[in-house]
Amino acid sequence: MYHIERYKRNPVVNFPERTWPDKQIEKAPVWCSVDLRDGNQALVEPMVVEEKMEMFQELLKLGFKEIEIGFPAASQIEFDFLRQLAERRLIPQDVHVQVLSQCREHLIRRSFEAIEGIASPIMHIYNSTNTLQRDVVFHASKEEVKQIAVDGVKMVKQCMKEFHRDDIILEYSPESFMGTELDYALEVCEAVIAEWGMASPEHKVIINLPLTVEMNTPNVYADQVEWMVRHFKERDSITVSIHPHNDRGTGVAATELALLAGADRVEGTLFGNGERTGNVDILTVAYNMYSQGIEPNLNLSNEREIAEVYERCTKMKIPPRHPYAGELVFTAFSGSHQDAINKGMQAMRERNNPYWEVPYLPIDPSDIGRQYQPVVRINSQSGKGGVAFIMDTFYGFHLPKGMHKEFADVIQAISEKQGEVAPEQIFAEFKKGYIDRKEPIHFRKCQITDTELEDGSFATLAKCTYTNHGVEKYFEGVGNGPIDAVQHGLEEELKIQIKVLDYSEHALREGSNAQAASYIHVLDVASGRTTYGVGISSNITRASLRGIFSAVNRLFY
């Protein structure tokens, strides 16, 4: 049943002093991967130690300097994994591993046992502060909930003394921050900072403001983050972190607006794995920055490897439309899109443009290890631009603009019967219909010489040998060039009347094996029909003459 009356709006923030709408993202935040904890706990089959190890190594390769590796007090597998990292000395000196714990003494103590021998770890403690959970889960007052957070800090400090640690980095999260009254969230965080008593610009405390459940539009979260940022008493001693989820499908937007609002650090996962609809997808945020010329401070160049490791370790599949990583995101089926991509690529080459500016492709797929091959895929919805793009990008044939529709109609007829048409089939049809269209008249050879006319001027004489249904024949023609001479000779020989409307040529490849392609647009004067012929050869004149024969075969036979 449809019961809209059961739902009420979540409140927004009355914050007219906000400044984030006028800002732009200028640099990458500190990235913290929570794939091994928040992402792992949301898997149907959580990772075993070997899979966690592979994921950890991939995160290091990507360049993460902060990695939440688990909740060691809650699981023996996570405890053992952390001990392996420590005992095998697999944590680089410039990487901080992060462990999560509720504000409970036995959990914090167990976490300290797990981080023995690990330099400068981040101890991440949290408790829920939002209005609803205080009411229905904890049945606790604001003061009681705040005391849980303060007591958690006291326990961390006590364990630091017992375990002789002075290198702990403290992180505190008022969980479900978005549903917490702002003044109360600030009160709890300030109490935590005061109890810690060690925050300074040189040794910052991390205050994490989780968007544990998206409850409103991203601008509301940005308002909340900026309000906190502007009200912290010791802002220069705090790393303001965010931990967005994606319940409303706007996790990336919430993250980007929160960065505008002053956040310094982002916790998230590869490809957005996590509880419910997932955590924020760190890679999408980073690729978004990359597309704007902002250094993301992550190694994003081999997206396929990242995806393979992710899918193998998590046993989850990346959707085909997932930003940047999906199989189809650099693919265009629409004819108008294909045409625009084709023209954009041509313009970049012709103008030698140092910037990537191609319609519908926000970044160069090859920059992240993707191939040009699947950029344009041809089906019944495709147009002439897509087919031309395939012929140009894959096979080096720069079809004349007037030829685009003629050949695209051939491919569309095929796609309407069978569905998607692969590039290999497109090229096979091109060869069959144009290059190899050599019957019934098949060009063999032609001798081109100059001849003097009766009026004393000079013209071109073409002496051509060809076969007609396999029978060798010969004709001569005179004209103002090789193409014109052969045209006149064919007209007389075959008793036809044709007109060459357009001619173009280009090199197919360079070097000693260079070949040229010629395109001849020919009109049958009697019927008004036109078509293109195509010829290729290492000799440009021979390529042109083969093109004429190709066109005549297409028009008359």
The answer on pLDDT for 375 being more than 70 is no
375 and 463 belong to one structural domain: no
Is residue 261 assigned to a domain?
A: yes
**324 φψ region: left (φ > 0), alpha (ψ -120 to 50), beta (else):** left
Q: Are residues 472 and 382 in the same domain?
A: no
What is the pLDDT averaged over residues 136-159? 94
Q: Is 358 within a domain?
A: yes
Residue where a domain stops, chosen among 434, 454, 483: 434
Residue 509: strand pairing partners: 515
Query: Model confidence at 283, in pLDDT bands (50, 70, 90)?
Result: very high
Average pLDDT over residues 340-358: 90
| Same-domain pairing of 350 and 251 | no
- To which residue do tokens 């935040």 refer? 29
* Most confident of the ranges 75-79, 131-135, 181-185, 507-511: 181-185
Over residues 30-42, the mean pLDDT reads 95
Average pLDDT (343-367) is 91
Does the pLDDT value for residue 462 go beyond 80?
Answer: yes
What are the structure tokens assigned to 501, written together?
């409307």
Across 173-189, average pLDDT: 95
Instruction: Give 56-95 pLDDT, tens digit per residue.
Output: 999 999 999 999 999 999 889 899 999 999 999 999 999 9
Average pLDDT, the chain: 93
pTM summary value: 0.78
Q: Does a structural domain hold residue 10?
A: no
pLDDT-derived band at 376 (thresholds 50, 70, 90) equals: low
In a domain, 151, yes or no: yes
In a domain, 207, yes or no: yes
Whether 398 and 524 map to the same domain: the answer is no
Same domain, 213 and 348: no
CATH number of the domain residue 492 falls in? 3.30.160.270
Q: Residue 512: its pLDDT value, please?
A: 62
Lowest mean pLDDT among 98-102, 153-157, 365-369: 365-369
Q: Are residues 74 and 146 in the same domain?
A: yes
Say if residue 447 is in the same domain as residue 421.
Answer: no
Task: Judge whether residue 374 has pLDDT over 50.
Answer: no
431, pLDDT greater than 90: yes
Quick: pLDDT tens for 209-238: 999 999 999 999 999 999 999 999 999 999
Asked whether residue 474 is assigned to any structural domain, the reply reads yes
DSSP at 550: H
In a domain, 2, yes or no: no
When pLDDT is averaged across residues 130-134 and rounded to a whole number, the result is: 87
- What pLDDT does residue 137 have? 83
Beta carbons of 170 and 206 less than 8 angstroms apart? yes
Residues 450 and 420 reside in one and the same domain: no
Q: Which of 414, 434, 454 is the last residue of a domain?
A: 434
The total of structural domains in the chain comes to 3
C-alpha span between 549 and 428 (Å, rounded): 19
Are 103 and 192 contained in the same domain? Answer: yes
Question: How does DSSP assign 98-126, residue by residue?
Answer: EEEEES-HHHHHHHHHHTTT-SS-EEEEE
Clarify whether residues 349 and 274 are in a common domain: no
- The share of the chain scoring above pLDDT 90, in percent, equals 82
Are 253 and 211 contained in the same domain?
yes
Q: Using one digit for the tens of pLDDT, what is the confidence trace for 393-421?
A: 889 999 999 999 999 999 999 998 998 88
CATH number, domain containing residue 346: 1.10.287.1400
Is 483 inside any structural domain? yes
- Of 267, 284, 314, the last residue of a domain is 314
What CATH number corresponds to the domain at position 271? 3.20.20.70
What per-residue confidence (pLDDT) applies to 301? 93
My answer on whether 306 and 377 are in the same domain is no
For residue 409, the enclosing domain spans: 335-434
What's the mean pLDDT in 347-371? Answer: 90
Residues 277-285 have a mean pLDDT of 97
